[in-house]
Each structure stands twice: as C-alpha cells, then as structure tokens.
Amino acid sequence: MEAQGEDIMDSEEIIPFHDDQTEIAPAPMAEELIRKICNRSAKAGVVGLGYVGLPLAIEMARERFQVTGIDLVKGKVDSINSGISYVLDVASEALLHFVSRGQVKATQSLAAVEALDTINICVPTPLRKNKDPDLSHVVAAVEAVASHIRAGQLIILESTTYPGTTREVALPMLEKSGLKVGKDFFLAYSPERVDPGNAAYNTRNIPKIVGGITRQCAEVAVLFYRQFVDRVVPVSSPDCAEMVKLLENTFRSVNIALANEMAMTCHSLGINIWEVIDAAKTKPFGFMPFYPGPGLGGHCIPIDPYYLTWKARMNGCEPRLIELAGHINSQMPEFTVRLIADALNESRKSLKDSKILALGVSYKRGTNDTRESPALQVLAELRKKGAIICFSDPYVPHISVAGETLKSVPLVPETLQSMDCVVILTDHSVVDYSLVAKFSPSVVDTRNTLNGFSGSCLKVL
C-alpha cells in the first residue's frame, strides 16, 4: 500500500468536525509523526494481544512497521516470541516470519510504551455482575500509557465501550502529564470490528471507523490506519465512533432476539422455523435473515448492548427494546435444555443420569473462542439437572464447567453410539455431520446443521 501524505482525509466524505479549537496548520509534532508513519520509521505498539490485538499487529508488520505487543499474560508473550499463534485467524507461519525478522516482538513490560510512536489499546471491556460496564482493563492500560507518555505519540483506543469513554475517561488521564491533546499527543477512538473465523473479512478489508478528539488527532489516526487497512471512514468525534460499534452489535442482538422468539413460538405451534426463514428471505426487499440458536456468545453481542443501555439510563433514557432483546436471548440456553429433555422423554429417558454430548462449545463456528459461549451455559444447566456431560470440539481442547475441567472427546462412532443424546451447539464446518446423523441415537440440532438428513432421532430447534 502506498503511503498517503497530503490531503489525507480527502478521499472519504468528512462529517463536519466538532472541535473547540481552530487548527490552521499541522502541529510540529503531527508533522514529525506523519513523516515517521509514511517512511515506516514509526514504532507501533499494541496493548492487549488477543483476538483483536494480535491480528492488528500482524497487519501492521505486513506493511513494514516494527511492532511491539504488550500483554500482562506471560503465556501469550512467550508464545508470540516463539512464533506460535494462539489465534486461529493468525497463522503461526506468518507470525514466525515477522518475529524472526524482528518486526514483531512481545513483552510484559508497560515501560515499552515510552519507545513507541503509535499505541493501539485493545483490551477487554467485560460486564460487572450487575451488567454495568467494567472499564478496569481500559483504565489500567491508559494509566500505564499515561505514566510513560511522551510528546509526539498517537494513542488509539479500540476496545468496545460506551460513548464518551475516550473523551471523559482516557483524555483527562493522559493530559495529567501536562501534554496537550492535538498539539503534543494525538488521541482517537477506532472500534474493533473483527469477526473471528470469518475467511472473507479480516482486519485489512473491514472498513475502519475513526474519530479523533481534535481534527489533528483524526487526521493522524486516519493516515496511520490507511497504511494497512483498505478503507478508513472518518467520523466527527470519538463519541460517534464509540456509538457506531454499539449500534452495529445492538442491531444484531435485537434481530437475533426476534429470531429466537420466533423459534420458540414456531416450536409451540409445530412449525419449522428454519423453513419459515428460508421462505421469508426469498423476498428481495424489506427482509434480512437472522437465525436462532442456543444463545448469544462472544466478546461483543452479549455485552455491547449493556454498555449502551447503561449510558442511556445515565442520561435519562429508558432503552426498553434493547433490554427486552437481552432478556429473550438469555432464555435460549434454558430453552435448549428443555428441547434436550423432550428428546430424551421421547426415548423414555430422563435428563438425570443421561449421557449427553455437546458438539461444539466455542461461541461461533471456526473459532476457539469460548467467551460468553451459550454452550457453556447449556452444559452447566445440564450438569445441574443431573445429566452426565461431555463435549467434542475440533478447536477447543478443554473447558471448565461448574469448576470441573472437561477435555474434548474424539468424534467417532463409538462415542456417538454411547450417548443418550447429542446436542449440536456450534456448527463447525470441519465436523463430519453424516457421522453424527448416522450413529447418534438422538440429536438436538440448534443450528439447522443436519438440514437434509432425515431420521426420527433428529429434533431441530
């Protein structure tokens, strides 16, 4: 990709920028940083080396940036420095290539921030037990950056969060150093939009939304991302960029909730929800298919809407539709357990003491990520009701259920035949489903994976 120098924001439509200062010419620090970015002498850094941070670091390295990854987990740091990837979307061969050339290295030392020119913060933003936002990881990361900040740095927060976090939380912490945003350092927000396991869309070809605290901040951040991302979309403020991500995932949460409620309704009426959706999506306008499942999982969709509802309530708004969607989606693991109980009942068996195999435990196909996976909730509920549980997943070697560690079992005819019921919770494409259909005495399919197979043993969500 060619470096973009002058008029760096002209190739995208710019939404009017809200700024409390008029910047007539680039700050000297901005000019120097732009020069470093364009000639690849800028030292890039990524704080948080998970499913977002590691792929981001690799894309930077592909465009000849020297990248330092920072993570407090020693196992991740050691793995990266050995050229071994723990993220399925990053091949170990690619990681080893950049590590061996000295373009990518990892460290646990937060002091490494001082030597960096750009810092992308990609740390988790979970929920507290009461479903309020937990910004402890963001605060810790920003505090670490603030303690080592120097003039001329670009700092970008990518962690999903509520509107106002960059301006109200990160900015005051960074300016305690005495440095001035837009003049001495540059601060922006750009929401991560990764979709683990998606072969078509990745860090490079998913458009990057960018909102800067000042116009100068936005221009430098846009220039940086354009070095290794195909399309960058500037917006008027970090608050807008923060809301973009919440809208995207709340949209999915609400529509999945509708699909899940329709599934439960169709089940009560004896109608196949999958046939209904397939027929409905033949309409060439006014309908977008969403699909039911055993619940919501992952680091975004089950969590992000609560960041939005919390912020909305703080500002006197009652987001009832969003909260209701969350309630509906949270019912699906229990509904799945009821389907399993019904399937066993048809074989004159009770849930208690029945052997049940969960097929797939990651939150979605093609990934080893089990964060917020509904499969874990289903297994925990089955265990609570006295079932004997086990699982098989080609990407996940072990999980913890109710404090007990379970290891993935091989998916072979003998295993399937020994079960009372098999429940398909994650539809990994590498699984031989003909084997499942042929040798399982009873199957509950929550993903419509066995569509096309027939048999009295099959029970579809």
Region for residue 118 given its phi and psi (left: phi exceeds 0; alpha: psi -120 to 50; beta: otherwise): beta
Indicate the residue type of 282: T
CA dist 237 and 163 (Å) reads: 10
Task: Tally the C-alpha atoms within 13 A of residue 46's C-alpha that lie toward its C-beta.
Answer: 28
Nearest to 214 by CA among 175, 188, 244, 233: 188
Determine whether 25 is exposed, middle or buried from the number of CB atoms within 10 Å of its CB (0-12, 13-18, 19+): exposed
pLDDT digits (tens, 9 = 90+) for 175-213: 999 999 999 999 999 999 999 888 899 999 999 999 999
Q: What is the pLDDT of residues 308-326, one digit of tens each?
A: 999 999 999 999 999 999 9
In whole angstroms, what is the distance from residue 209 CA to residue 365 CA? 26
Q: How many C-beta atoms surround the C-beta of residue 195 within 10 A?
A: 17
Q: pLDDT band for position 453 (50/70/90)?
A: confident
Residues 186 and 36: beta-carbon distance below 8 Å: no
> Is residue 217 annotated as part of the catalytic site, yes or no?
no
Catalytic residue among 122, 217, 266, 300: 300
d(CA 452, CA 446): 15
CA distance 270 to 348: 21
The residue among 84, 88, 76, 168 whose CA lies nearest residue 122 is: 76
Cβ partners under 8 Å of residue 25, min gap 6: none
Whole-prediction pTM: 0.90
Cα 453–Cα 278–Cα 302 angle in degrees, nearest 5: 95
pLDDT at 235 over 70: yes
Q: Say whether pLDDT at 24 is over 80.
A: no
Q: By CB neighbour count within 10 A (0-12 exposed, 13-18 middle, 19+ buried), where does 75 fall?
A: exposed
Residue-wise pLDDT for 403-421, tens only, equals: 899 999 999 999 999 999 9
Domains and CATH numbers, the chain: 28-236 (3.40.50.720), 273-460 (3.40.50.720)
Q: Using CA atoms, how far apart are residues 88 and 95, in angstroms rounded to an integer? A: 12
Mean pLDDT of the chain: 93
Contacts of 65 (CB under 8 A, 6+ apart): 40, 42, 43, 44, 103, 227, 228
Structure tokens at 441: 């005495």
Q: What is the DSSP letter of 83?
A: T
Q: Please tell me the predicted confidence (pLDDT) of residue 25.
A: 58
Write down how long the chain is. Answer: 461
pLDDT of residue 5: 43
Q: What does the alpha-carbon distance between residue 356 and residue 423 come to, in Å, rounded to a whole number?
A: 7
CA 110 to CA 144: how far, in whole Å? 6
